[in-house]
């Protein structure tokens, strides 16, 4: 049994890590930090976790809190991990960060897209990008893993095989994606209250969303060529889920059968990827670590369209982090992770 610490366990991704680890055969949560909830039982904030965590209390983060653990998950807001990872390395061998703090390999991209300088740029080259379906070899045994988030995972898995095969042009790619409200995190915000979100559907981050360079980096690195993406995220009135519709120009004549076969061949051995003619839906992935993908080639307009859906808190966050932890620790990659969704 591997002992793990969840740093930032009081947020949605932290709670999802607690839920997944509760049924994991080889991961035991021994530390759950949550500064805003320190001293309160986990079950008070998340009654759904009461059967697994009983009287376990959130504790404040402080240096040394993860001593004795084998791995630490960082489920903190963006920016917070930059000051924490250096301290955690003294306590644990493996760190999996769920924030964007160490995903980008170019420190110059952080002030451009996040508005602030990176405070630990020397660590960027030590992190591996934690998208197993594209970069599994680098994640095995890795000490520092930066797990990508929901938008990036959905778009990259839909596009990467097509770009890598030379089936679509790497420039001028369009990604339209919609997310459930849980993607904004647990703290209340004016734009995520029930009255704001209910019966509404809105685009945001127009031309400037911070995950744009991350999508470009992930697909470019896998395909071995520079990629350009126009990314527009949307907020949908649902709790969970991501649906990404991606458009690219084909490099030559193609068909729906050919692009579907490319995706099916690329993911034929992947336990958490479903490729089919069915149009993906967020509901089909609920509670699972799976991503559902389809594609079409349109002769009339000359576009190739790839669509992917996943649960933003599982494959888009905490499930992916556990998948990376499994690889880093050398245990079964699928351990503790559901491939089938919950329905209805």
The residues carrying an active-site annotation are 150
Take residue 240 and report the two structure tokens written for it: 């969970």
Closest by alpha carbon to 311, among 266, 272, 259?
Answer: 272
List the Cα angle 152/247/297 in 5-degree steps: 130
Q: What are the C-alpha distances in Å from 102 to residues 6, 60, 81, 126, 255?
A: 17, 23, 8, 9, 38
Take residue 117 and report the two structure tokens written for it: 């300088």
Q: HSE of 85 in the Cβ direction (CA atoms, 13 Å)? A: 30
Q: What are the C-alpha distances in Å from 159 to residues 134, 179, 301, 308?
A: 11, 18, 19, 9
């Amino acid at each position: 049994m591997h002992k793990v610490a969840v740093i930032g366990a009081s947020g949605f991704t932290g709670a999802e890590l607690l839920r997944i680890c509760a049924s994991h055969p080889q991961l035991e949560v021994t530390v759950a930090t949550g500064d805003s909830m320190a001293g309160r039982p986990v079950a008070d904030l998340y009654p759904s976790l009461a059967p697994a965590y009983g009287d376990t209390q959130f504790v404040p983060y402080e240096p040394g809190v993860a001593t004795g653990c084998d791995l630490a998950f960082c489920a903190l807001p963006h920016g917070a991990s930059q000051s924490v990872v250096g301290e955690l390395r003294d306590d644990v061998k493996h760190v999996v960060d769920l924030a964007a703090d160490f995903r980008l390999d170019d420190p110059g991209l952080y002030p451009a897209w996040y508005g602030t300088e990176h405070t630990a740029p020397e660590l960027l080259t030590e992190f591996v990008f934690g998208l197993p379906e594209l970069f599994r070899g680098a994640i095995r045994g890795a000490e520092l893993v930066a797990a990508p988030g929901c938008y990036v995972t959905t778009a990259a898995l839909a596009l990467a095989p097509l770009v890598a095969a030379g089936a679509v042009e790497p420039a001028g790619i369009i990604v339209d994606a919609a997310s459930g409200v849980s993607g904004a995190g647990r703290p209340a915000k004016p734009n995520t209250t029930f009255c704001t979100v209910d019966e509404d559907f809105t685009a945001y981050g127009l031309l400037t969303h911070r995950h744009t360079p991350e999508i470009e980096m992930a697909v470019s690195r896998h395909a071995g060529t520079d990629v350009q993406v126009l990314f527009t995220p949307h907020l949908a009135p649902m709790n969970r889920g991501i649906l990404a519709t991606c458009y690219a120009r084909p490099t030559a004549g193609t068909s729906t059968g050919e692009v579907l076969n490319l995706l099916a061949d690329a993911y034929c051995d992947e336990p958490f990827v479903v490729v089919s003619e069915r149009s993906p839906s967020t509901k089909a992935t609920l509670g699972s670590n799976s991503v559902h993908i389809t594609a079409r080639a349109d002769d009339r307009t000359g576009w190739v369209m790839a669509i992917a859906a996943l649960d933003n808190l599982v494959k888009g966050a905490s499930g992916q982090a556990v998948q990376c932890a499994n690889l880093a620790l050398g245990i079964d990659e699928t351990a503790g992770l559901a491939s089938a969704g919950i329905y209805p």
